[in-house]
Amino acid sequence: MTKELKVYFSMFRIRFNHNLQYRAVVLGAVLKGFLWAMMEVLGYLAIYRMGGDRLPMELSRTVSYVWAHESFIVLFSVVFGDGEIFSAIRSGEVVYDLARPVGLYGRWYCQSASNRLSFALVNCLPVLILGALMPKPYGLTLPGSAAQVFLFLVSALLAFGVTVAMAMLMYVSLFYFISQRGIRIMVRVVTSFFSGGVVPLPFFPEPIRRAAELLPFGSMQNMPLQIFCGNINGSQALRGIGLQVFWLWAMVFLGWLAMRRATGKVVSFGG
Amino acid sequence: MRLYWNYFLMELKSQMQYKASFLLTMAGQFVTAFTTFFGIQFIFQRVSGVDDFTYGQVLLCFSVIMMSFAIGEMFGGGLAVFPELMREGSLDRILVRPRSVILQIIMPNMDFSRLGLLVQAVIVLCIAVPVSGVVWTGKKVFVFAMMVACGSVLFFCLFLLVAAVSFFTIQNLNFLDIFTYGMRDFGKYPFSVYGDAALKVLTFGIPLALVQYYPLLYLLDRESGIWYMISPLVSLLFVAPSYWFYRFGLKNYKSCGS
């Protein structure tokens, strides 16, 4: 077990150093996150001017939600540039991976987790700090209490796990479908919409909102972001975290099972 | 001309070869635009309008920008292969041919699945027109057509500019997405709601407000000045600097492929 962990850890280190190489790209990503969040905040401000009291979230919470969403976007997006995995499946290189003495599910899970984490670490904090520095109506409000920060961190970790598990299911599905691009677009749209990436879940009509919250989508970015902005707290947050634990377990188990079935009869295209 | 037409047909046919794949991608584009639409829908179920624009007028903005983006990207999206072509060195091969470089790159990289986006934008337009409160006249229909046409040209120019930047950086800088994909997202509201500073940038810098906000005021009879009417045409001035920048980049290009 410890030997496997060591393999995973060094894979993470390689990835991390690799991503730090391109400083211009990191700078660009920070700038993009900042401008994008700013424009979105301006849009929400205009909407709240019209009828803020009729909207389900307080203005300052929505603004914090937008900033946090832009900051952690890499961590919580199911479709992210896991170029190696996509091309391994397409080109048939996956047979080499299968021959390695490390389980494919664990290996890919780790690879795609470290891909996101290493990028997010260098790129999300600057956006959060910039957001906190902005003056009142535009800037984000940081969590008020230590308990809130703690709940956020736990929830974020779980949401991250669920997100990567979802991505794993997508990779497994690519064993069966040839259209990588189509699947990628579909998965991106559905997961980002129902996890609150377009508008926060509280804005949804009642029945859709409840369904999305119970499905794994609600256990993705929705939960940590709502805890971060203060919309969910106390026992409600604990219940949400419980659901996240369940979905993390379920999604990993499902993905692992599906991968075992898929690799059991893999037909390689590569020459 | 015939050559380009052949390129075009060839690409259309080859993309149609994998029918399921093509349809899935197209459906994906279609649904993508729909989520933005639902986002607007959810918000406007609770709020009647934004600043002094009603729900219908917001939808009109959204569909104009969506249509422009879909057309602009169908032609210009392929320019995103520039950095890759440069790394591979195949750009050199294109440069030595005695035909337009832009067309040689656009034609084989045309992405027809963007039609899904276009279809969606037309659907939104059909929903928007009856509730927008615009009294349509011949002149206004013409202005509307100009908004979409010039908007498409603008988006194409933006894609060209983003591609031309890679002449200098070689790497693909994805933060420039904010000028293409970002503008598609922000264009869902009239650009004036983002405040004066943003509106100024979008008027004099990247003149997208000229195809959306100003002519919209004309359509709504809030302004009747000639400038509001022909503002989409004025926005075409943007073509000159973008093309110049692209030529400038091309001239500076030194092959780095192997």
Instruction: For residue B130, report the phi and psi dihedrals to the nearest 5 degrees.
Output: -65, -30
- What does residue B50 show for φ and ψ, rounded to 5 degrees? -130, 130
User: Which tens digits make up the pLDDT trace of B90-107?
Assistant: 677 777 676 777 777 777
Per the model's pLDDT, the better-predicted residue between A54 and A225 turns out to be A225
Residue B53 pairs in a beta bridge with B50
Give CA–CA dist B80/B73, Å, rounded: 10
DSSP state of B52: T
CB-CB neighbors (< 8 A) of A134 in chain B:
none
Closest to A24 (Cβ–Cβ): which among B25, B31, B171? Answer: B171
Q: Does B35 touch chain A (CB under 8 A)?
A: yes
Residue of A nearest to B52 (CA): A50
Q: What is the pTM of this model?
A: 0.83
Alpha helices in A52-145 (DSSP H): 59-71, 83-91, 94-99, 104-133
> Is B30's Cβ below 8 Å from some Cβ in A?
no
CA distance B98 to chain A (A): 34
Confidence of residue A270 (pLDDT cuts 50, 70, 90): very low
Task: Kindly report the backbone phi and psi dihedral angles of residue B92, in degrees, each rounded to the nearest multiple of 5, phi listed first.
Answer: -60, -40
Output phi, psi for B134, to 5 deg: -90, 130
Q: How many CB pairs under 8 A join A and B?
A: 107
Q: Is the confidence at residue A271, as pLDDT, over 50?
A: no
| Closest partner CB to B194 (pick from A24, A39, A198) | A39
Chain A CB contacts of B174 under 8 Å are 25, 28-29, 32
What is the separation of C-alpha A260 from the centre of its chain, rounded to a whole number of angstroms? 24
Residue A199: its chain B contacts at CB < 8 A?
A: 39, 42-43
Whole-number Å distance between alpha carbons of A164 and A110: 9
Name chain B contacts of A47, Cβ cutoff 8 Å. 43, 47, 50
Instruction: Compute CA A95 distance to the chain's CA centroid, rounded to the nearest angstrom.
Output: 28
- Say whether A43 and B51 touch across the interface (CB within 8 A): no
Chain B hits for A54, Cβ within 8 Å: 46-47
> Coil, strand, or helix at residue A72?
coil
Dist. CA A203–CA A55, nearest whole Å: 7
CA distances from A4 to A8, A85, A107, A252, A255 (A): 6, 20, 9, 18, 19
CB B147 within 8 A of CB B217: no
Do B21 and A179 lie within an 8 Å CB cutoff? yes
What is the bridge-based pairing of β-strands B49-50 and B53-54? antiparallel
The pLDDT tens digits for A180-222 are 777 888 888 888 888 888 888 888 888 888 888 888 888 888 8
Which residue carries 């906190």 as its tokens? Answer: A132
Share of chain A above pLDDT 90, in %: 5
Unique residue bearing structure tokens 């963007």: B114
Q: Among candidates A220, A171, A153, A170, which has minimal Cα distance to A193?
A: A220
Q: What is the mean pLDDT of chain A?
A: 81
Spatial neighbors of A84 by CB under 8 A, at least 6 apart, are A111
Distance CA A193, CA B32 (A): 9
Q: Rounded distance, CA B127 to CA B109, Å?
A: 32
Q: Whole-number mean pLDDT of chain B?
A: 80
Q: What is the mean pLDDT of residues B181-198?
A: 84
Q: Which of residues 161-180 of B touch A (CB under 8 A)?
A: 169, 171, 173-178
Contacts of B48 in chain A (CB under 8 A): 50-51
Q: Which residues contact A197 (CB under 8 A, 6 or more apart)?
A: A69, A76, A77, A191, A221
Average pLDDT over residues A166-185: 81
> Does the beta carbon of A12 lie under 8 angstroms from any beta carbon of chain B?
no
pLDDT range class, residue A249, cuts 50, 70, 90: very high
| pLDDT, average across residues B65-84 | 82
CB A195 within 8 A of CB B39: no
Residue of A nearest to B195 (CA): A42
Most confident of A9-13, A53-57, A189-193: A189-193
CB nearest B47 (choices: A36, A54, A186): A54
- pLDDT tens track for A72-108: 888 888 887 666 777 777 776 676 667 666 677 888 8
B179 vs B111, higher pLDDT: B179
Whether B17 has its CB under 8 Å from any CB of chain A: the answer is no
Cα gap A221→A217, rounded to integer Å: 8
Give the pLDDT of residue B89. 67
pLDDT at A222: 86
| CB atoms inside a 10 Å sphere around CB A83 | 9
